A and B are shown apart, each in its own frame.
Chain A
Amino acid sequence: MMRALHVLESLAAGGIETTFLNALRAWRLEEPWAAHDVLAFAGGALEDAYRACADSVAVTAAPRDLERAVLQPYDVIDFLFDRCAYRLLPFVVGHAPAAVVYGKGYDLGGRVRANHGLAWQPDESLLWGADAATFTTSGLASGYDAPPERVEVLGKAASVERFLSLPPPDAWTPPRIVCVANLHALKRLGDLVVAVSRLRGELPGVRVRFVGADHTGEGERLRGAAREAGVEDACEIVGFHADVAGDLAEARVFALPSGCEGVPTAMLEAMAAARPVVVTDVGHIRSVVDDGVEGFLVAPGDVGALADRLRTLLVDPVRARAMGAAARARARGHDVRTVARRLRSVLERAAAGASRRGAA
C-alpha cells in the first residue's frame, strides 16, 4: 500500500482545508489504497477532524522538524498550499525520493493571479520541480507556465452531498437572501446591504443573512452600513457556523458581491441546494456559472445590477426554481468524492512514475 504525505499550511477551517478533509473522508470509505499522513505548519479548528481520518497528523513549523518529517519513506508528497510549497518543496525535491504533486487552487497565489493578473514567477518554477501539478480549473491552469503533460485539472471540489436533498425554494419561501462568506472587506458585503436597501420599497419583507467568520472587524462595519442605510432590521449577521444547510433552506437566493474569489465553495453548496445565485463575475466563477442559467453574474461594485438581479429572482419564484434546478445539476459535477477519485489517480500515477525512474 502507498504511503502519502499531504502538506497543508494550517488546519484552520478554510476552503482547501475543509475540502481536503472531505477528500480524506471519501477515501476512508473506499478500499484502502494508501496510508495518509498530514503535515501542517499550524493547527486550527479542523485538527481533531483530521486526526480522526488521517493515519497521522503532525503540526510543526520548525524547519528541522519539517525536514525530518518529509524525509520519511513516502511514495508521494502532496503540497496543497503555495506558501508551504515555497518554503518546503525545494527541500523535498532536493532530498526525498518520493514523487511530488503540487496543487494549485484558489488560495493566496491563485486568487491573486485570477483577480488581479499579478504573476509570481517562483511559484511557476515550483510546478517544474513537481512530478504533477493539479489545478482547480482549466482557467487557472491556463494562467501558469507549467509543463503541459504534467498538468491535471481536478475541478473545484465541494462537499455538496448533504445539500442535494434540500427541497428547492418555492413560492412560500420568504424573500430571503443568504450570503456565506468570511466577513472581509475583499468580499464587498456592504454592496449587498445597499442592494437590500434599494429593494426594500418594493419588497418590504426582503432580508439578508450573512454567515461567516469575522477576523477583521468587518461585521461591525457591516452593521454600521446597515444602520446608515436604514435596513438594520433586514440584515442579520450570524457569524461562522459549519453547517449552512439551515440558512440555505430558509433562503430563496444566494448572493456573493465579492471583489475577489476563485470558485467559492459556499456558492457551490448553495447551488447544490438548488438556490439560484447572484454573484460577481470575478476570478473563475464563470467556469461554474453561466449568466442567466444557474443565476446571474454582475460586475463587482455594480450595486444597481446586483439589486436588479436579486429582484428578478425574488419576485419570480418560477424562474428562481428553474435556475436553482440548473444550479443543482451543475454542482453535482463538483462533488468532492468525484474530485477525490481524480486526485487519487494523480497521486498514484506520480508515485508510479517516480518509482520507475528511481528503479532505473
Chain B
Amino acid sequence: MIGEVVKTRVVRPCDTALDLVERIGFDAAIGPRELGVLGEHAAAAAPRLWAAYDEHWRRFCGARLDPQFWCLDQPARWTGAIRAPDGAPVVIVGTGPSLKTQLPRLKAVRAGVHLVTSPRGAEALADAGLAADLVLIEHQTALDAMFSVSDLVHRPMPATRRAAFVALAPHAPASLVAGVPGDRLFVPDPMPTWGLWPATAVALALGSGTRSVTLVGIDLGTRDRPDATHAPLAVLLSLLAAHTDVPCVDAGIGGAVKPGWEQMVGDDFELEGAAEPLSLAARPWLPRSGRFDLAVECAARLEPLADAAAATLAAACRVRDGDLSAGARNNLDDRFEQLLAAGNTQEIREDVQDGLGAAFLPRYWRTAPDRALGSRIWRPAALAAHELVRQHQALVRRLSQQERTP
C-alpha cells in the first residue's frame, strides 16, 4: 500500500433508493459489497441501480470530480435540502422541443407548481415570462462546465439570478453564480447525483415532499427514435420513478418513452390552489478555510502516490521511446501494478477521485488494463500516471496560491 491513510468518509444511513443513488454516485464502491449496510428499501433497489451503474457508467460516473479545484472558490455558504411545504407538484423543465408545446399550459398552472430547471431552462422560461423556483447548476464533466463559463462571456444568464433558489454542485465554477444573492445559493445535501442534471433534479424533487414530479422538455429524442446518447439518463429516470411512491409524469409530448413515467394525457396538472414557496432546510456549509484545510491534508496524503506515479510515468516513457529491454518492461510493469494496487484501499480511491479529481486511474481500478498488451502497457500507464502527477502538482500549486492570497 502506498501512503498512510487517515481520512475516513462519514457514511450516512442508507435507507431509501434516493440514499442509495447518492451513495453509488460517490463512486466510492467498486463492487456492490462496498456499498455498506443498506436499509430494506435501499436493498430492494440495489440490484437494478447497481446494474445500471455498471452497464451505463461502467462503475464510475465521475459526477463529483473536480479537476479544476473549483470547490475551493465555491461561494455558497449554505447546504441543505429543498422542501415543498404543501407538497405542491414539482415540474422539471428542460429545453427539449416539448417545452415550446407545453409553455402555455405551464403558464396557466404556474401558481400551483414549483419549477425546477437548469440555467438554460431558466432562460427559456424567462423568455416566456416565467421565473424558476430552483435552478440547478451541474455539469457532466469539468470540460462541459468550462464551456458554460466561456458561454457566459457572450450570453449572460440573468434568469438564474432571479430564481428563488440556486442549487449548485460543490465543484461548479463560481463564475456561473456571479450575482446570485448568497441567501438563495446552496449546495444540495443530500446530492443524489450521477452527473446528469435532470435526474439529479428529479431526485431532489422526490426528496422535497412533493406529491408529484412532472417532466417538461426532457424529451431524450422522439417517441419513434429515442436518442441513444441519452440512454443512461433515460435508465436513471426510470429507476427513480420505479423506486418512489410519488407519481412521476412525463408531459414531454412526442418525446421518448421513459418506462415508469406516466405519459400526461389530460389537459392540465392536478392542482390544489397556489403553491406555497419552496423552502430550504439549510445549515452552514463547510467554510472555505475548512475546504482548504481538507485539500491540504489530501495533497499531503497523496504525496507518496504522486511520487510513485511520477516513477511510473518515467518508466512508461522509456518503453514508449523504444527501450524494450526486459529491465525496462519489468520496471514499468512493477510500477504500474503498484498504482493499480493502490485502488484496493477505499480511502486512497476517495482521495484520488475527490481530492485530485483524477479520472483515469480510477477507471483502471474498475476495468483493469489487459495484461496481454505486453510492452504496449506503456499507454494506459502513461495516461493514468500523467494525470495523477499533474493533478497533484496542480493541487499543490493551487493551495500555495491560496496561501499567498487568503
Contacts and interface: CB of A to CB of B under 8 A. Distances in A.
B386 A125 contact: yes
Nearest to B325: A360
27 contacts: A41-B228, A62-B55, A62-B231, A93-B379, A94-B368, A94-B369, A94-B379, A94-B380, A95-B367, A108-B143, A111-B150, A112-B147, A112-B149, A115-B150, A116-B146, A120-B146, A125-B384, A125-B390, A126-B383, A128-B386, A188-B154, A217-B127, A259-B153, A260-B154, A357-B319, A358-B374, A360-B324
Interface string B141-155: 111001101110111
A199 interface: no
B382 A90 contact: no
Interface in B47-93: 55-58, 67-68
B227 interface: yes
B376 A354 contact: yes
Q: Which of B56, B58, B360, B375 has the most CB of A within 10 A?
A: B360
A95 B369 contact: yes
B111 interface: no
B387 interface: yes
B43 interface: no
Contact of A62 (B227, B228, B370, B390): B228
Interface string A113-130: 001101011111110111
A213 to B, nearest CB: 15
Given A94-B370, A121-B67, A125-B360, A42 B228 contact: yes
A126 B375 CA distance: 18
Contact of A93 (B358, B374, B383): B383
A360 B394 CA distance: 36
A33 interface: no
Contacts of A122: 67, 142-143, 358-360, 387
A120 B56 contact: no
Interface string B390-404: 110010000000000
Contacts of B154: 185-186, 188, 259-260
The interface size bin for chain A is 35 or more
B375 A360 contact: yes
Contacts of A126: 383
A108 B387 contact: no
Given A120-B67, A129-B386, A186 B155 contact: yes
A354 B320 CA distance: 9
Interface residues of B, number: 52
Contacts of A112: 143, 146-147, 149-150
Nearest to B362: A90
Contacts, number: 143
Contact of B375 (A120, A186, A358): A358
Nearest to A123: B143
A94 B384 CA distance: 10
A175 interface: no
Interface string B300-315: 0000000000000100
A61 B147 contact: no
Interface string A64-79: 1000000000000000
B363 interface: yes
A83 B386 contact: no
Given A112-B150, A124-B390, A129-B382, A94 B228 contact: no
A109 interface: yes
Given A90-B380, A145-B390, A188-B154, 6 more contacts: A90-B363, A118-B150, A125-B383, A129-B383, A185-B155, A357-B319
B317 interface: yes
Contacts of A109: 143
Contacts of A307: none
A188 B153 CA distance: 11
B64 to A, nearest CB: 15
Interface string B227-246: 11101000000000000000
B373 interface: yes
Nearest to A108: B147
Nearest to B155: A185
B364 interface: yes
Nearest to A100: B379
A130 B386 CA distance: 12
Top 7 closest pairs, chain A to chain B, by CB: A129-B383, A94-B369, A125-B387, A185-B155, A93-B379, A94-B380, A128-B386
Contacts of A186: 151, 154-155
Contacts of A86: 141, 143, 359
A60 B56 CA distance: 12
Contacts of A185: 151, 154-155
Contacts of A115: 150
A62 B55 CA distance: 8
B370 A59 contact: no
Interface string A256-268: 0001100000000
Contacts of A123: 143
Contacts of A89: 383
A94 B229 contact: no
A147 interface: yes
